[in-house]
Amino acid sequence: MSCSSNKKDDRFDFFNNIDTYIKEAKKIKNPNPEITSHGDCKIFSGQIDLGNIEKAESLCNSFARLNKFLVTIKKEDDNHCKFLNYWLNSELSQKCSSENCGVRYIYNGMDSYLFRNEVYSSLNCELCNINKVELHKMSILYNLHDKRNEIHDIINSQKNLEASKLHESSTECFTNYKKGLAMCNNKDENFCKLLENFKTEYRKLYSMVETKGHDYSKYFQRLPGDENSNIISTAVTGTVVGLIPFFGVLYKVSELNIKL
């Protein structure tokens, strides 16, 4: 079932707490090796046609781990179902090659099979198929914040400069932000506002990078329109510093003329 267009902007609300969701989503991509596969997911993968049994089982296990986290925060953040809706739409767009890729159908299937497990707690979410354009916009925002967090961790790392990672992640932000701007118009005000929120957060990285010196900051890509802001400030500072000795000479000449 497709999502209602009446609540289009509401589906972006989980971006108000995006850093938390990104952190947990990374955990389920790289789970602890000691965490074994849910037996119920093995049954699910054999009963639901996603075009690939292994992918279906992997999706179910990731969903079970994510669901466990979302249950713990649902009292603090009521946007957990909206994030889950985005996450499942995104996963199915990459993994599902069959015609049975309806988000509600897959969610209800996993939910019903896992419900047999006593440690599983259903969120009772109402999920729907997000249209491709809207999903693409969500993915741009999600990836922008994901890379922003990566850059923040690189800057604060005690390891030696990871120049290639810093350059790669910041360049990706530059490119995706530019794509987002091209898609931003008055018809999608909420997306534009969230893109602006990202810019505000990303600009906080500028001063952090600059304190590391030029040999570090040269690997960092600023957002479109901000590329030369550091050059301008440096040029102005250089001009002021250069004028100091000049004014000193003028002062001495003036003082000499007075004495004469």
Q: How much is the pLDDT for 89? A: 96
Q: Which residues of the chain have pLDDT under 70?
A: 1, 5-9, 30-38, 97-100, 187-188, 229-260
Tokens of 87: 């996450």
DSSP state of 251: H
User: Residue 141, exposed/middle/buried by CB under 10 A (0-12, 13-18, 19+)?
Assistant: buried
| 18: number of Cβ within 10 Å | 23
State the Cα–Cα distance between residues 171 and 6, nearest whole angstrom: 35
Give the model's pLDDT for residue 258: 52
Cα-Cα-Cα-Cα dihedral sign, residues 227, 231, 237, 239: negative
Residues 6+ apart with CB under 8 A from 209: 155, 216, 217, 220
- Cα distances from 24 to residues 17, 172, 209, in angstroms, run 12, 22, 26
CA distance 248 to 28: 64
- Look at residue 234 in the predicted model and tell me its pLDDT: 37
Give residue 76's pLDDT.
74
**pLDDT for res 30:** 66
DSSP string, 162-205: -HHHHHHHHHHHHHHHHHHHHH--GGGHHHHHHHHHHHHHHHHH
Q: Produce one character per residue of 185-214: b if its CB has 16 or more CB atoms within 10 Å, e if not.
A: eeebeebbebbeebbeebeebbeebeeeee
* Tens digit of each residue's pLDDT (9 = 90 or more) over 197-253: 999 999 999 999 999 999 899 999 999 999 876 533 333 334 444 544 544 544 554
CB 220 within 8 A of CB 170: yes
pTM of the model: 0.82
